[in-house]
């Protein structure tokens, strides 16, 4: 075993022992919780919490945690975390009961009878599903999906879950190594970003620190030692800096508290990793927080520190006027301090500071059974509504989790609608993300955009402060290409849903064409069949309606001629099977969309002799008739080959490719590209492979309208002196 592996093993053992010792030393008690609650809850409310505690203690009787403590110490600890946030008595009661449905014989109905519907819904939202899933990933996704749905009705569900996760992380050291790593990774990937999205800074920091120590114990220990060593060298200059700022503010009559800020370990680690900075570079930056009484004092204090130290250009952000999506408000500025030290400065009011630390829990409002949502809570509720929208649009729970992770970006851009409304989007968002943020229908029918009144590509990344206008068309539909440059979970989920719906409608149309083609050889069509006699055939095929069967045919999951034989036999008892797989060719128009595809191996274009190949999940794939990739299909499964022809009029551009042999010479590729562009064709990609010292093989992926257009491109390329040969792959 190497020295590094030995140390990491030793450190993990020490971390586990420490966590276990902490749990043994300070188990939660109801008396401690009761004392905390009595400071802000009424006596009747505290008595209701005690009733929940007695019920949970009895329900968990005989159960113990891995730490060796009675199980009730865990719900008590979760309730204590919420009590520190001064949550309402129903949240505390739900925290005490949060595991009784999952881990005891208590039923949801019993809880509702004793504690009421509101508390029971919170408990049920936090409880995990009892279903056995195929994978841990799927189980985690299903559990979170259920919790997200419950959170949409009551924000307290996610707060109880976050407190539950925090206590589990505090006692994670007693878990086996692999489980500890999995839970830590899940916490860093999902729960810490959610706490951040809800503005709960203190809880997020602790989740990140605990997750970091469990996942990378060696790195965490080394960073901790380095920070401790650097802290001593920073104390004197930080004290001098604080005194300087406090004095300047006092002279201007501003009552303020100046605090030094120290980055926590995980944020230091992330900056070193993502920004490729050394530890010394990060620790050279000082952090100061200025807390004042009133909003106008924030701007006055900003003027004072800018007069005291020079600001760094481009490093000022006003989150007071335009709060972050999680409700966070503060002025951010970076200053050149004494001795050239950089000072990252935050200026905020005391109320803003409370919200920054505790998020929506920092100003919880429940009055007369009705929620009064303002500020951060309103934004949190809006975000949770978006989470529910993601859940409803997602194809499955795993896709939902992936979309949610995308939506938990820590950085946002703030853009304006033409009417001046501010929308927050993830960094890297484009106009299509903006369109879907306004409304799903606007996104689905988006065709172009104006950014600051000028036409711009839909894929261009937006910047804060820009005004975006979306141009729509009722006949427009989302393109699969949009998924390559959209970043918001809402947009990506809506695009996928629209494409699925679009694919189904197109597959039904294609399926009808293919089935009628096969039935035509028996001198009949779909409309001539008596569907009252065909219900058994539908059941045999596992469908309920004709459209479902046509969609299966259009997607290539069922062969049209097989379905036709079954339908004809069921419709007519005297039917004698005939050869119906030799119908007329299918007309290809070029605008069929998602269920008629074109072979990338041969790149057919209008004017080529073509055939179709029915491919499961892709529908009809069109190939050039001489394509070598279909030789084996012709031999083994000839019924999968569908005769095809181009319609009299085709629409759109068609992707194809040319194979060139050129002399190796400086500027030869540029000359090829210029020639293709001059021919009115679009270049999608150029790939160059060296054949020998004198020749190169070049593959040009391009888009053309039809075969005559492609022929003109080939003639132009052949006229270039360095081009030895030009051919198509199927030639």
SS (H, E, C) 466-492: CEEEEEECCCCCCCHHHHHCCCCHHHH
For the residues of 134-193, what is the DSSP string, one character each? SSHHHHHHHHHHHHHHHHHH-THHHHHHHHHHHHHHHTGGGS-HHHHHHHHHHIIIIIHH
Confidence of residue 597 (pLDDT cuts 50, 70, 90): confident
**Measured on CA atoms in the order 224, 225, 227, 228, is the torsion positive or negative?**
positive
Q: 94 near 156, Cβ under 8 Å?
A: yes
Sequence-distant (6+) residues with CB within 8 A of 507 are 550, 551, 553, 554, 555, 594, 595, 619
SS3 387: helix
Domains of the chain: 3-215 (1.10.3210.10), 224-361 (3.30.460.10), 376-475 (3.10.20.30), 497-646 (no CATH), 654-727 (3.30.70.260)
- Most confidently predicted of 140-144, 335-339, 616-620, 681-685: 681-685
Of 482, 477, 391, 386, which Cα lies nearest the Cα of 438? 386
> What pLDDT score does 9 carry?
44
Backbone angles phi, psi at 631, to 5 degrees: -60, -45
Lookup result for tokens 């529908």:
619
Q: How distant, in Å, are the alpha carbons of 28, 31, 94 from that of 82?
A: 13, 15, 10
Q: How far is CA 283 from the centre of its chain?
A: 32
> What pLDDT score does 359 carry?
67
Is residue 306 over pLDDT 50?
yes
pLDDT in tens, 316-350: 888 888 887 667 889 999 888 776 678 889 999 98
Residue 470: exposed, middle, or buried by beta-carbon count in 10 A (0-12, 13-18, 19+)?
Answer: buried
396: tokens are 């499955």
Compute the distance between CA of residue 390 and CA of residue 94 in angstroms, rounded to an integer. Answer: 26
Angle 546-554/560-571 helices, nearest 10 degrees?
150
Sequence-distant (6+) residues with CB within 8 A of 42 are none
Compute the distance between CA of residue 637 and CA of residue 639 in angstroms, rounded to an integer. Answer: 5
Is residue 385 over pLDDT 80?
no
Backbone angles phi, psi at 567, to 5 degrees: -65, -45
Is residue 216 over pLDDT 50?
yes
Confidence of residue 136 (pLDDT cuts 50, 70, 90): low
DSSP state of 312: P
Instruction: Tell me the β-bridge partners of 727.
Output: 659
Is residue 439 over pLDDT 60?
yes
SS3 18: helix
Of the ranges 126-140, 199-213, 273-287, which one carries the lowest mean pLDDT score? 126-140
pLDDT in tens, 67-116: 888 899 999 999 999 888 888 899 999 999 999 988 888 888 899 899 99
Q: How distant, in Å, are the alpha carbons of 593, 612, 613, 645, 652 from that of 513?
A: 15, 13, 15, 14, 21
Q: How far is CA 88 from the centre of its chain?
A: 32
Compute the distance between CA of residue 457 and CA of residue 432 in angstroms, rounded to an integer. Answer: 10
Q: 263 near 287, Cβ under 8 Å?
A: yes
Of the ranges 308-322, 632-646, 704-718, which one carries the lowest mean pLDDT score? 632-646
- Average pLDDT taken over every residue of the chain: 80
| Interior/surface letters 661-675, b for 16+ CB within 10 angstroms, e for the rest | ebeeeeebbebbeeb
Q: Which of 34, 102, 625, 640 is the catalytic position?
A: 102
Rounded to two decimals, the pTM is 0.56
Compute the distance between CA of residue 164 and CA of residue 161 in angstroms, rounded to an integer. Answer: 5
Is residue 700 over pLDDT 90?
yes
Lookup result for tokens 């172009």:
448
Compute the distance between CA of residue 255 and CA of residue 232 in angstroms, rounded to an integer. Answer: 29
Q: How far is CA 247 from the centre of its chain?
A: 47
Beta strands in 153-312 (DSSP E): 256-261, 286-292, 310-311
Q: Is 102 a catalytic residue?
A: yes
Give alpha helix (H) positions in 316-439: 350-358, 376-393, 397-407, 431-438
pLDDT in tens, 345-375: 999 998 888 777 776 655 443 333 334 345 5
> What pLDDT score does 378 carry?
60
pLDDT in tens, 192-203: 888 887 778 888
SS3 731: coil
Q: 195 near 351, Cβ under 8 Å?
A: no
Stretch (H or E) spanning 361: none
Q: Which of 22, 103, 412, 571 is the catalytic position?
A: 103
Phi-psi region of 336 (alpha: psi -120 to 50; beta: other; left: phi over 0): beta
> What pLDDT score does 506 carry?
82
């Amino acid at each position: 075993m190497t020295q590094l592996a030995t140390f990491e093993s030793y450190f993990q053992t020490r971390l586990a022992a420490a966590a276990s010792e902490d749990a043994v030393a300070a188990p939660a008690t109801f008396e401690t919780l009761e004392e905390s609650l009595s400071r802000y809850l009424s006596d009747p409310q505290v008595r209701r919490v005690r009733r929940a505690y007695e019920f949970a203690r009895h329900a968990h009787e005989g159960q113990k945690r891995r730490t060796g403590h009675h199980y009730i110490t865990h719900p008590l600890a979760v309730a204590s975390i919420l009590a520190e946030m001064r949550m309402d008595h129903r949240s505390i009661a739900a925290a005490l009961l949060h595991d009784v449905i999952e881990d005891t014989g208590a039923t949801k109905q019993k809880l509702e009878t004793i504690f009421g519907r509101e508390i029971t819904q919170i408990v049920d939202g936090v409880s995990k599903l009892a279903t056995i899933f195929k994978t841990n990933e799927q189980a985690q996704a299903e559990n979170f999906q259920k919790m997200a749905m419950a959170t949409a009705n009551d924000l307290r569900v996610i707060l109880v879950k976050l407190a539950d996760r925090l206590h589990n992380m505090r006692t994670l050291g007693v878990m086996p190594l692999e489980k500890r790593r999995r839970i830590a990774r899940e916490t860093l990937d999902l729960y810490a970003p959610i706490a951040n999205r809800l503005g709960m800074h203190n809880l997020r920091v602790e989740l990140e620190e605990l997750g970091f120590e469990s996942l990378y114990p060696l790195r965490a220990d080394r960073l901790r030692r380095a920070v401790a060593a650097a802290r001593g060298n920073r104390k004197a200059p930080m004290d001098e800096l604080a005194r300087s700022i406090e004095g300047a503010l006092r002279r201007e009559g501003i009552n303020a508290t100046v605090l030094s800020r120290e980055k926590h370990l995980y944020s230091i680690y992330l900056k070193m990793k993502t920004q490729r900075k050394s530890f010394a570079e990060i620790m050279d930056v000082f952090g100061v927080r200025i807390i004042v009484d009133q909003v106008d004092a924030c701007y006055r204090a900003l003027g004072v520190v800018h007069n005291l130290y020079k600001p760094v250009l481009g490093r000022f952000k006003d989150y007071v006027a335009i709060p972050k999506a999680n409700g966070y408000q503060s002025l951010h500025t970076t200053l050149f301090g004494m001795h050239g030290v950089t000072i990252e400065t935050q200026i905020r009011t005391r109320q803003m500071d409370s919200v920054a630390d505790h998020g929506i829990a920092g100003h919880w409002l429940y009055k007369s059974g009705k929620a009064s949502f303002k500020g951060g809570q309103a934004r949190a509720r809006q975000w949770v509504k978006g989470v529910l929208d993601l859940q409803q649009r997602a194809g499955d729970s795993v896709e939902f989790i992936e979309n949610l992770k995308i939506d938990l970006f820590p950085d946002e851009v703030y853009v304006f609608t033409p009417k001046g409304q501010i929308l927050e989007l993830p960094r890297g968002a484009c106009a299509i993300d903006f369109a879907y943020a306004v409304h799903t229908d606007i996104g689905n029918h988006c065709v172009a955009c104006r950014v600051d009144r000028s036409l711009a590509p839909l894929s261009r990344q937006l910047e804060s402060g820009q005004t975006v206008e979306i141009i729509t068309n009722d006949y427009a539909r989302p393109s699969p290409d949009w998924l390559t440059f959209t970043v918001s979970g809402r947009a990506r989920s809506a695009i996928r849903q629209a494409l699925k719906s679009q694919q189904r409608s197109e597959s039904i149309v294609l399926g009808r064409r293919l089935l009628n083609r096969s039935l035509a050889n028996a001198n009949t069509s779909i409309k001539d069949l008596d569907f009252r006699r065909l219900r058994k055939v539908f059941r045999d095929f596992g469908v309920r309606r004709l459209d479902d069967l046509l969609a299966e045919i259009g997607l290539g999951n069922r062969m049209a001629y097989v379905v036709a034989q079954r339908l004809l036999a069921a419709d007519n008892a005297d039917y004698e099977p005939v050869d119906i797989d030799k119908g007329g060719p299918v007309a290809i128009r070029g605008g069929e969309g998602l269920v008629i595809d074109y072979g990338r191996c041969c790149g057919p274009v209008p004017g080529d002799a073509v055939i179709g190949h029915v491919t499961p999940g892709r529908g009809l794939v069109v190939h050039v008739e001489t394509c070598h990739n279909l030789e084996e299909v012709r031999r083994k499964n000839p019924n999968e080959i569908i005769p095809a022809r181009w319609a009299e009029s085709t629409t759109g551009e068609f992707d194809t490719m040319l194979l060139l042999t050129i002399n190796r010479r400086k500027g030869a590729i540029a000359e090829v590209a210029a020639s293709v562009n001059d021919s009115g064709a679009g270049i999608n990609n150029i790939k160059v492979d060296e054949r020998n010292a004198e020749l190169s093989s070049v593959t040009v992926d391009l888009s053309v309208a039809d075969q005559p257009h492609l022929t003109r491109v080939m003639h132009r390329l052949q006229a270039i002196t360095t081009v030895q040969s030009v051919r198509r792959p199927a030639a």
